[in-house]
Structure 1
Amino acid sequence: MSKYKAQILHAVNMRGTVSVMELAQILGVSDQTIRRVSQPLVESGDLDKVHGALVSNRTASDPPFLARMNQNRSAKVAIARLAAEIVPDGASVAIDTGSTSGFIAQALRTRQKLTVVTNSAFVASTLAIIPGNRVSMAGTQLRDHDGAAFDRSAFDVIERMQVDFVILSASMVDAEKGFLVHEQCEVDMANAMLKNAAQAIMSVDHSKFLPQSHRPALRQPALGGTDMLITDTPPPPAFNTLLRDLDVRVAGGK
């Protein structure tokens, strides 16, 4: 698959629907190039073409968490490696349920004697098997699409913990509204984790700074002070005001 074809397929699968004009701007090519390169994807059934836009044919049966783990994989791996450099051996960490957080959990396997609390079954199972770690799984009832817990017992565990770091994620970043997610329970959990953490690390890849067809509506808690943002490319200038109070780290130093 050509570079442009792969980029088009990824962008449309990630966002559901993207106009030909916007794809041309993102890839830095002409509208005609987008139409020509995307035609085989339409003919193969990977995408549909409607009224100047391309639509994803990703099936609803795709496991959502695994699908998100495979989106922007290299960017998330780079972010995770940088996060693992920041969190030292012996630290205590609260980790949320985002797909980037899943990669961070994998990267943290190189650390020793961590104390971890999470409401993600994936994160818990990743770090619990490392000798010397102490891992607390918050919650008893797991969501079917991502193995995350948001029941009362999950909040009870989180509220009893005091940690050095909390690792958070977001579905989208808006220059005015901040870090956005889709569900209120995710906001509530982020609030609970933040209240008991000395420092927050927000981890988002470059795609979260782009507009989305299915826009999240709920704000994550405000960050500032010693809190940090880790991403894989420098955020666009439009986000300077939002991020001015954060320690912004770019994986790879780009």
Structure 2
Amino acid sequence: MDASGPAQRRRLPAGRKADLATYVEQTGQVTVSDLAEHFGVSIDTIRRDLDQLDREGVLVRTHGGAVSAASGPLKDRGLDVRMRVQTEEKERIARIAAGLVEDGSVIMMNAGTTTLAVTRALRNHQDLTIATNNLRIPAEIAPSAFRDLYVFGGAVRSITQATTGPVTFTMTPGGPEVDIRCDLALIAVGAVDEAGYSASNLGDAAMMSEMMQRAERTAILADSSKLGRRFFAQIAHLDRADYLITDAPPPPRIAAALAQADVQVLTP
């Protein structure tokens, strides 16, 4: 009995962590207090378990709790959560996207954690003109990378830390709109299927579509978890983009549709 007691105690944390991971995956989003009550342990114990599971990539640690890294789309989760998911894939996509950007060019970028990764990947560029609805880009981009940086106005969506509204600027308050164009639009989307590119929010989709209309070339950014999915709001048909940048080859049906639409797929 005495010999088996310590061994049993050593196994309990591992067993609890496995049960905890399963519970978070099934629930989707949990709080520390809920987990402590459910498993009958202290809040500090749950925090340590969550920290370890976060390091192992089993779940995503959030302020006051955790969310499953594997459950469903992340369209309605906060930016702090989405920044912790598919990070390596986004960095690989960002490096490819940055390779399409020429020094001195004009680019538009929409909101999203993938475009934030692109922003960091542009640190060695120079003389760029950037227009975006992403409120995080001014703080993330290297000052040496850009000549001019513009942020579109509109309603602020706190969950994405971005604005939603018209892709326009005026020289003076109430004055006429200035016709703006860009060399390249880098558009991170929520989903890609045979019908096209889509997003969960109607206003976001309209803004992305307008950015694409104003661009000489468009690169769609989507990690492989977004391929084969479709969200509420259609952004554009497949043939509206020149490139799809992703981290892995698309499934055969989507690959065939992209080829028919003359979209070049770029992968690491």
Deviation of 1:40 (Å): 4.8
What residue is the counterpart of 1:172 in the other structure? 191
Q: Is the contact made by 2:195 and 2:238 (CA closer than 8 Å) also made in structure 1?
A: no
Distance 1:210 1:132 in 2: 35
Letter in 1 for 2:248: T
Q: Which residue of 2 aligns with 1:100?
A: 114
TM-superposed CA distance for 1:159, in Å, is: 6.8
- In percent, how many aligned pairs have the same letter? 25
In the alignment, what sits opposite 2:247? 232
Quickly say closer, same or farther: Cα 1:72–1:159, change in 2 above 3 A.
Answer: farther
Of 66, 78, 86, 1:72 maps to: 86
Return the offset for 1:114: 0.4
1:181 and 2:199 correspond: yes
SS of structure 1 residue aligned to 2:211: helix
Residue of structure 2 in register with 1:241 after alignment: 256
Secondary structure of 1:198's partner? strand
Give the distance between the partners of 2:26 and 2:195, measured in 1 at CA: 28
2:79 is paired with a residue of what secondary structure?
Answer: helix
Match of 1:48 among 23, 34, 58: 23
Of residues 122, 127, 138 in structure 1, which corresponds to 2:152?
138
Letter of the 1:232 counterpart: D
The CA RMSD measured in Å over matched residues stands at 2.7
Q: What is the match of residue 163 of structure 2? A: 149
1:207-234 per-position Cα deviation (integer Å, ceiling 9, x unaligned) = 11255xxx62221212437711111111
Residue type at the aligned position of 1:56: G
Give the stretch that moved more between structures: 234-243 or 130-139. 130-139
Aligned length: 204
Residue 84 (1) aligns with residue 98 (2): yes
Measured after TM superposition, the shift of residue 241 of structure 1 is: 2.9
Which structure is richer in relative contact order (CA contacts within 8 A, separation 6 or more)? 1
Contact 2:107–2:128 (Cα < 8 Å) also in 1: yes
The code of the aligned residue for 1:130 comes to: S
Give, in whole Å, the separation in 1 of the partners of 2:255 and 2:185.
23
Q: List alignment gaps of at least 5 residues for structure 1.
A: 1-37
Assess, with a 3 A threshold, how the Cα gap between structure 1 residues 155 and 180 changes in structure 2: closer, same or farther: same
Instruction: Please report how far the alpha carbon of residue 41 of structure 1 lies from its aligned counterpart in structure 2 after TM superposition.
Output: 4.5
CA–CA separation in structure 2 for the residues paired with 1:205 and 1:80:
10
TM-score (norm 1): 0.71
Gaps of 5+ in 2: 1-13, 32-61, 67-76, 170-176
- 8 Å contact 1:201–1:230 — kept in the other structure? yes
Tell me if structure 2 keeps the 8 A contact 1:187–1:220.
Answer: yes
| Equivalent pair of 1:47/1:57 in contact (CA under 8 Å) | no
In the aligned structure 1, how far is the partner of 2:241 from the partner of 2:233?
A: 23
Q: Give the aligned partner of residue 120 of structure 1.
A: 134
Could you report, residue by residue, the CA deviation over 1:104-133 in whole angstroms, capped at 9, with x for unpaired residues?
111112210000000011123323733652
